[in-house]
Amino acid sequence: MTIPAFADQVILKNGDKLTGTIAKSDGKTLVLKTDYAGDLTIKFDDIQSMTSTGDLNVTAGGKTAVGPVTTTADKLVVATKTGGSVEAPIASVTILRSPAEEAAYQKSLHPGFGEGWAGGANLGFALTAGNSETKNLNIGLNATRTGFHDKLTLYENSIYASASKVNLHPGASVTTANSNGGGLRYDRDITPRVFGFGSGDFFANSLQNLDLRYILGGGIGFHAIKKPNTTLDLLAGINYTHESFSDLVFSQGPPEVTYNHSDSSAALTVGDNFMHKLGKNSVFTQSFLLYPSFSQVNINPAAIPFPPFPSPDNVRIMRGAVNLGLVTKIHKWLGWQLTFSDVFDNHPLASTPPIERNDITLATGLNFSFTH
C-alpha cells in the first residue's frame, strides 16, 4: 500500500487507474513508465486527471514552471517551490517532462562532438587463385553528425586491385586499380530551407599519376525536399581546385620522356544530394557535383617542351563526380551495399597510355552500420 502512495497516478476517462512515473508529454500523448507493463503511451485527451509525486517541467501557454503536478477539472496546477501554485488550462499544455527527460533534452541541445553520429563502413573483397591470380579490395566510410541546425558529413572510398596471373600466363604482379577519395562537408541552416556549406574533397589515383587533387569550396544550399523518408538538397557556390601529377609518360622512347604538372584554378560548384528510403530496410543515395572552371588552363611553354594536352588550344576544364549508393539492411547493424561512382575530367593531360576522361568504380559488399 505504500508503493502507490509514492507513485504518479493517471486516471482515465473510462475509470481505469494507472500508476507509475510520468516521463513526458507533448500535449498529444503522455508516456507513463511502469514496472508491470513497461512504457505506456496514453492519449492526452483520454486522461481524466493525473497527479505526480515528484517535480515535472511543464510548459503551458508559452510559460514554464517546475514542481509536482495535479489536475482539477480542466486545469493543471504546478506547485512550484518559489512562486506558489501556477495554474493553466490543460488544453494549453505543450510540454511535460520528468527531471531525467529534461536533462536528456538539455543535453541534446548541446551534444559533444563524439555524439550524434550515424553511418556505415563498406567492405568488399575478391580473390582468385589457380588459372587466374587476382586480388580486389574496396573499402568505404560514410558518417554523418546531425544537429538541430547543422550537419557534418564525412566520407572515404578506396579501391585496390592487382593481377599476377591471367589465362595461364604468370608474371610480375601488376596493379590494375589504386584510387583513394575522401572529403567532408559542413552545413549550417540559415533558415528552415536555406543553409550555408563548406566542403573539402580529396582524390588520388596512382594509375593516372595523380598525386593529389583537392577542391576547397563553399556556398549556399536549398532544402528542396526535407521529409523523414526523402531529402533533396541543391547546392551552388565557388571553389579553389589544385591538382598535381608526377612522372607522366609523354613518350615511351627510348629514351622515355616524362614530365610533371600542377595546376590551380577557381571554379563554380553546382550539384545536388538526394536520399530516399525504399521501404523499411533499404536506402538509396545519389550525389552529383560539377566544377566548371572560371578560366582556361594556362600552360607555361618554358616548363615542358611539348603541349601536355591533345589540343594545343587552351581549354576550359570541367570536372565533376557522380555517386550512387544502395544499402539494404540484413540485421540492425549489418547490410549489403552497392555503390557506383564516376569521377570525370573533360580534358585530361596527355600521357602514354592515355588517361581516360572517366574513372568509373562499381563495388559491392557488406555494410556495417553504426550510431553513437
Residues 305 and 166 reside in one and the same domain: yes
- What span, in angstroms and rounded, lies between the C-alpha atoms of 36 and 15? 19
- Total domains in the chain come to 2
Residues 67 and 126 reside in one and the same domain: no
Of the residues 54, 85, 109, the one at which a domain ends: 109
Non-local (6+) Cβ contacts of 130 within 8 A are none
Is the separation of the CB atoms in 260 and 222 below 8 Å? no
Residues 82 and 126 reside in one and the same domain: no
**89 membership: H or E segment, kind and range:** strand 85-89
Which parts of the chain have pLDDT scores under 50? 1-4, 299-305, 307-312
Residues 192 and 339 reside in one and the same domain: yes
Residues 122 and 95 reside in one and the same domain: no
Residues 71 and 152 reside in one and the same domain: no
pLDDT of 301 = 44
pLDDT of 349 = 82
Of the residues 109, 131, 154, the one at which a domain ends: 109
Residues 98 and 152 reside in one and the same domain: no
Residues 59 and 92 reside in one and the same domain: yes
pLDDT of 251 = 74
Residues 147-196: pLDDT tens digits?
A: 888 999 999 999 999 998 766 667 778 898 999 999 999 999 999 999 99
Is the separation of the CB atoms in 63 and 48 below 8 Å? no
Residues 169 and 279 reside in one and the same domain: yes
Which contacts of 98-105 are long-range, i.e. CB under 8 A and separated by 24 or more positions?
98/21, 98/22, 98/23, 98/24, 98/54, 98/55, 98/56, 98/57, 99/54, 99/55, 99/57, 100/23, 101/23, 101/24, 101/57, 102/57
Residues 14 and 95 reside in one and the same domain: yes
Residues 251 and 217 reside in one and the same domain: yes
Q: Closest by alpha carbon to 150, among 196, 204, 207?
A: 196
- What span, in angstroms and rounded, lies between the C-alpha atoms of 337 and 360? 17
- What span, in angstroms and rounded, lies between the C-alpha atoms of 36 and 17? 14
Give the domain extent around 266. 117-371
Residues 102 and 121 reside in one and the same domain: no
CATH number assigned to the domain comprising residue 365 = 2.40.160
Helix (H), strand (E), coil (C) string for 263-292: EEEEEEEEEEEEEEEECCCEEEEEEEEEEE
Of the residues 109, 131, 147, the one at which a domain ends: 109
Is the separation of the CB atoms in 233 and 275 below 8 Å? no
